[in-house]
């Protein structure tokens, strides 16, 4: 295949590749907020991203919100352990946030839209909370971006179980590829999406361990009981798929996955 | 999903992202050979890559080989039009190359292994022609890396037609993900593979036109007659798939594809 495609230079990706040392860097190193700015992190969960965010922007003030009290309790422990003083944690639903319109300079949403039945409405809600000219950053994965060697129908079916269970719960595990159209449809300006591909082969043993096994395969393995109970796979078929995913972590294996990061302005 | 993956900094990708202006840059900008070095391009086809290669390394001498006389005639026209004096074109089969062992400083293979029934043997043959310490560069696409929005079963089936036809012809349209294990199995040292992802949304109209439509979809469209004759799709089903691929080129569409570039040493 040959083609000339002009304009292939993304400042985000350049900065990114210059700085990326870990997956956290790959996703977050190009996100930093000015001192004094007020940032809403919508859907902080247990605060895994919050620590990185708040460290990378020590002068910004973060309000990190999640609907789950249990997650927030864990986030609180993380913030305390990291001795972060610029994060305020609050419990609230993303569709009923207790903030005045235009009360934030920036909004950050990571691994959240994938769980929402109405991601577009969520983005519209968040837009209202943003001051004109303020930025929004959206990061989502896409399980349809996973492919590997050796290829395996069983592995693809096990992943498909996770995709279908997430869909049945109202979410969308394939939402990464939709970050651009969703942000544009929500009315954000100057939307720019950059993919963040995680490529793993055995010359990169930390990624084999940290991504292929402990992140992706562990996540798929986590839906085993639900997938079997929902009749989406037999125990044997599911376990064969998991074995095939671990097989891609061997010396001749390869694993690929892509995250999508979009930035836009109100 | 969260994970810490250490060692995520690739010099190839850094240089690449700094220089990439076109798909040709994305694939080739980090390939340059020293003045006086002798480079074998195995499987040059019509010379589409040769022009870029020879321009990027004006002091190197290229021997570009292809099995097809018709392709070489077209390559000759290209070399003449580009006024490139550092390229010698020769007709030969990759498994019967008329060169002495260790007679090249570097070998370059792009979009070739995907067509070969025995890609590993081809790499072993090429290794013999390389001097100890010389480099080999391998670039291949992977049609399993194609995904898009709106997603479409019909589009995926049309792509699958191409994959199956290529397989029936002895090739492998999913070989990109195997570049690393193939190069390692062929005995190359220090193999490093970097993915080159082409991400297309409507904020990048040149890529919509140049890649989604005129490169990828045009290539799939090119197997229409063969796919129908082989009974792999009805005309209606195939055409529906092609329409769905063009649909991803509209304002809210997204298209993703990844090439894999491996570099190793004898």
pLDDT band at residue A5 under the 50/70/90 scheme:
very low
Name the pairing type of β-strands B87-91 and B104-110: unpaired
pLDDT digits (tens, 9 = 90+) for B168-193: 999 999 999 999 999 999 999 999 99
pLDDT band at residue A21 under the 50/70/90 scheme:
low
Searching chain A, which residue's CA lies closest to the CA of residue B1?
Answer: A215
Distance from C-alpha of B53 to C-alpha of B136, rounded to nearest angstrom: 14
**What pLDDT, on a 0 to 100 scale, did the predictor assign at position B9?**
38
Searching chain A, which residue's CA lies closest to the CA of residue B193?
Answer: A201
Q: What percent of chain A has pLDDT over 70?
A: 92
- Tell me what the pLDDT averaged over chain B comes to: 92
Name every chain A residue with its beta carbon within 8 A of the beta carbon of B249. Answer: none
Name every chain B residue with its beta carbon within 8 A of the beta carbon of A181. Answer: 149, 201, 252-254
Residue of A152, A101, A92 whose CA lies nearest to A129: A101
Distance of CA B210 to the CA centre of its chain: 16
Alpha helix ranges (H) inside A29-113 = 48-56, 69-81
Distance from C-alpha of A204 to C-alpha of B120, rounded to nearest angstrom: 22
**What pLDDT, on a 0 to 100 scale, did the predictor assign at position B19?**
41
pLDDT digits (tens, 9 = 90+) for B62-102: 999 999 999 999 999 999 999 999 999 999 999 999 999 99
Q: Tell me if A19 sits within 8 A of A29, measured CB to CB.
A: yes
Residue B247 in contact with partner chain A when CB distance is under 8 A = no
pLDDT band at residue B1 under the 50/70/90 scheme:
very low
Name, in order, each residue with C-beta under 8 angstroms of A136's C-beta and a sequence gap of 6 or more. A106, A107, A108, A109, A123, A126, A127, A130, A183, A188, A263, A264, A265, A266
B17 Cα to chain A: minimum distance (Å): 5
**What pLDDT, on a 0 to 100 scale, did the predictor assign at position A24?**
87
Q: Which of residues 137-196 of A touch B (CB under 8 A)?
A: 141-142, 144-145, 147-149, 151, 174, 177-178, 180-181, 184-185, 191-195
Asked whether residue A3 carries a pLDDT value surpassing 90, the answer given is no
- Tell me what the pLDDT averaged over chain A comes to: 92
Residue A211 in contact with partner chain B when CB distance is under 8 A = yes
Q: Tell me if A90 sits within 8 A of A57, measured CB to CB.
A: no
Searching chain B, which residue's CA lies closest to the CA of residue A27?
Answer: B2
Measured from the Cβ of residue A229, the count of other Cβ atoms closer than 10 Å reads 10
Does A199 contact B203 at a Cβ distance shorter than 8 Å? no
Asked whether residue B3 carries a pLDDT value surpassing 60, the answer given is no
pTM, 2 dp: 0.91
Q: Give the mean model confidence (pLDDT) for residues A43-49.
A: 93
Distance of CA A60 to the CA centre of its chain: 21
Query: Mutual orientation of helices A48-56 and A69-81 as an angle, nearest 10°?
Result: 40
Searching chain B, which residue's CA lies closest to the CA of residue A253?
Answer: B181
Residue of B35, B29, B34, B24 whose CA lies nearest to B12: B29
pLDDT digits (tens, 9 = 90+) for A53-64: 999 999 999 999
Nearest to A206 among B1, B7, B195 (CB): B7
CA distances in angstroms from B88 to A60, B76, B91, listed in the order given: 60, 9, 10
Distance from C-alpha of B231 to C-alpha of A151, rounded to nearest angstrom: 25
Name every chain B residue with its beta carbon within 8 A of the beta carbon of A21. Answer: 6-9
pLDDT digits (tens, 9 = 90+) for A116-171: 999 999 999 999 999 999 999 999 999 999 999 999 999 999 999 999 999 999 99
Asked whether residue B17 carries a pLDDT value surpassing 50, the answer given is no
**3-state secondary structure at position B231:** coil
Pairs of residues, one from chain A and one from chain B, whose beta carbons lie less than 8 Å apart: 185
Asked whether residue A15 carries a pLDDT value surpassing 50, the answer given is no
**What pLDDT, on a 0 to 100 scale, did the predictor assign at position B208?**
95
State the burial class of residue A69 (Cβ atoms within 10 Å of its Cβ: 0-12, 13-18, 19+). Answer: exposed
Name every chain B residue with its beta carbon within 8 A of the beta carbon of A208. Answer: none
Show the tokens assigned to A109.
């949403």
- Whole-complex ipTM: 0.90
Q: What percent of chain A has pLDDT over 90?
A: 90
Which of the residues A6, A7, A8, A259 would you substitute to probe the B interface, choosing the one with the greatest number of B C-beta atoms within 10 Å? A8
pLDDT digits (tens, 9 = 90+) for A167-226: 999 999 999 999 999 999 999 999 999 999 999 999 999 999 999 999 999 999 999 999
- Which residues on neighbouring strands pair with residue A87, listed in sequence order? A62
**What pLDDT, on a 0 to 100 scale, did the predictor assign at position B251?**
98
H or E element in which residue A125 lies: helix A119-129
Does B8 contact A23 at a Cβ distance shorter than 8 Å? yes
Q: What are phi and psi of B95, to 5 degrees?
A: -90, 5
Name the pairing type of β-strands B38-42 and B104-110: parallel
């Amino acid at each position: 295949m040959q083609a000339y495609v002009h304009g292939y230079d993304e400042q985000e990706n350049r900065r990114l590749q210059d700085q990326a040392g870990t997956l956290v860097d790959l996703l977050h190193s190009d996100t930093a907020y000015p001192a004094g700015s007020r940032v809403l992190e919508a859907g902080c969960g247990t605060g895994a991203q919050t620590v990185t965010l708040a460290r990378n922007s020590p002068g910004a003030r973060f309000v990190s919100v999640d609907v789950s009290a249990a997650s927030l309790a864990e986030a609180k422990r993380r913030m305390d352990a990291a001795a972060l003083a610029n994060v305020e944690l609050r419990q609230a639903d993303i569709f009923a946030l207790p903030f005045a319109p235009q009360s934030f300079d920036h909004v950050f949403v990571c691994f959240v839209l994938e769980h929402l039945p109405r991601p577009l409405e969520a983005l519209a809600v968040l837009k209202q909370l943003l001051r004109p000219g303020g930025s929004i950053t959206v990061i989502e994965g896409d399980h349809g971006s996973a492919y590997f060697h050796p290829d395996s129908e069983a592995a693809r079916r096990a992943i498909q179980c996770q995709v279908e269970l997430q869909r049945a719960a109202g979410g969308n595990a394939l939402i990464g590829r939709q970050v651009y159209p969703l942000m544009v449809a929500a009315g954000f300006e100057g939307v720019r999406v950059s993919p963040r591909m995680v490529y793993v082969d055995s010359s990169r043993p930390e990624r084999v361990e940290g991504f292929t096994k402990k992140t992706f395969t562990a996540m798929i393995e986590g839906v085993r009981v639900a997938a079997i109970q929902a009749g989406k796979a037999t125990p044997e078929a599911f376990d064969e798929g998991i074995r095939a995913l671990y097989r891609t972590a061997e010396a001749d294996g390869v694993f690929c996955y892509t995250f999508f990061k979009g930035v836009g302005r109100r």
